[in-house]
Amino acid sequence: MEYKTILCDVKEEIATITLNQPEMRNPLSKRTTEELTDAIEKSDRDPHIKAIIITGAGKAFSAGGDINEFKENFMKTVPALHMEGRESTQLFKLGATVKTPMIAAVNGPALGGGCGLVAMCHIAVASKEAKLGLTELRLGIVPFVILPWIRRAVGDRRAMELMLSAEVVSAEKAKELNLVHRVVPHHELEAETWRLAKTIASFSPLAVKLALDAFYTTDQMDLMKAFDYLSTLRIVSFCSEDLREGAAAFLEKRTPVWRGK
């Protein structure tokens, strides 16, 4: 796919995906959603990529849905809207299916769908200048697609408050709510996010993939079945080349050379 609304750059085993319509505050249009989905899936399939950073160009991370597209929806049939909705939902399903850690570098306002994108990422680092919120009700719509990620991030009661108040909160408040994990001065955002991505990239890629598998697969699982499933993954880990290499490197006081096997 030729990217027209995003940029994708790979450097030192890290893919940086940048929403690149700063003059429009990086809306999550149908085109952008398709491009983001494609870029994330391609990065996840690439064995050389160990972490994915998602950020925005200019002063905004993402202001959410494209208002012009909302107007166009008035002229579409119910089946057409249903199919387009299923396509856009694919982006937000990726948070639970990709096995490459995604880090949000929240450089500015992340509203509506943009806030959902932050909540979907496995780790979120925000600039002190960032603001986050579910502003959909101000426009007479509901944050349907992103609601599962928001309530997983902040809990049921907080999610209800954010949705019904449509309040835009500061980065520090977003951290209190668990929408983001870390808040740093704006000029330190890129360096802090890169440092975190490099740390993750330094670990065994097999162990990282197993960690995400363990976390999401057991999320809705019966407690006893979860123990059984995790015990199986434990065997995979114990029989891996990476674990043997990690143990040897520790004893020999050297940097491990991971093979992802």
Each residue's pLDDT tens digit, 155-165: 999 999 999 99
Query: Is residue 55 within 8 Å of residue 61, measured between CB atoms?
Result: yes
CATH no. of 6-201? 3.90.226.10
Each residue's pLDDT tens digit, 174-214: 999 999 999 999 999 999 999 999 999 999 999 999 999 99
Give the domain ranges of the chain.
6-201, 205-251
The whole-angstrom separation of Cα 89 and Cα 166 is: 22
72 among known catalytic residues: no
pLDDT higher than threshold 90 for residue 132: yes
Tell me which of 34, 35, 136, 192 is the catalytic residue.
136
Question: Where does the pLDDT of residue 76 fall: very low under 50, low under 70, confident under 90, or very high at 90 and above?
Answer: confident
Whole-model pTM: value is 0.92
Residue-by-residue DSSP string for 185-243: -GGGHHHHHHHHHHHHHTS-HHHHHHHHHHHHHTTTS-HHHHHHHHHHHHHHHHT-HHH
Question: Where does the pLDDT of residue 144 fall: very low under 50, low under 70, confident under 90, or very high at 90 and above?
Answer: very high
Three-state DSSP class for residue 64: strand
pLDDT higher than threshold 80 for residue 87: no
Query: Is residue 135 within 8 Å of residue 111, measured between CB atoms?
Result: yes
Percentage of the chain with pLDDT > 70?
Answer: 95
Task: Please state the separation of Cα 100 from the chain's center in Å.
Answer: 10
* Average pLDDT along the chain: 93
